Amino acid sequence: MNFTVTSEINNKVATLTLVGSLDSSSAFVFQEEIQKVAVQSPVEMVLRVSELSFMASAGLRMIVFAKQKLGSQVQIYMVSPQDQIIDTLQMTGFIHSVHIVDKYPE
């Protein structure tokens, strides 16, 4: 399934909606969107991922990139990730650095 990402910024909260498969061939699309929202210095980043069906380590590296680009104080929320993606976040320890929520705002 192709990967798409769309973004919007409201009240300094960047919301990105990720759909499809995020792998090493599509990660650059996500990276470009992070760079685009970073210009507006958001204070929080919300990733809507309920329709993200696959995420490889290339996607995790983009989350690291977002933290580096936006600053460590910027909190990252992942809204409704699928179980298999939660497994990957758990295995790699990323679960400690992002907030997994059912909805945002909580």
Name the residue among 76, 57, 54, 65 with its Cα closest to residue 32: 65
Minimum distance, C-beta of residue 105 to another protein, in the bound complex (Å): 22
Residue 35 within binding range of another protein, rule CB under 8 A: no
Among 19, 58, 100, 101, the residue binding another protein under the rule CB under 8 A is 58
Residue 31 within binding range of another protein, rule CB under 8 A: no
**DSSP of 39-97, one letter per residue?**
TT--SEEEEE-TTEEEE-HHHHHHHHHHHHHH-TTSEEEEES--HHHHHHHHHTTGGGT
Question: Which residues of this chain interact with another protein, rule CB under 8 A?
Answer: 1-2, 21, 23-25, 54, 56-58, 60-61, 63-64, 67-68, 72, 83-84, 87-88, 91-94, 96-98
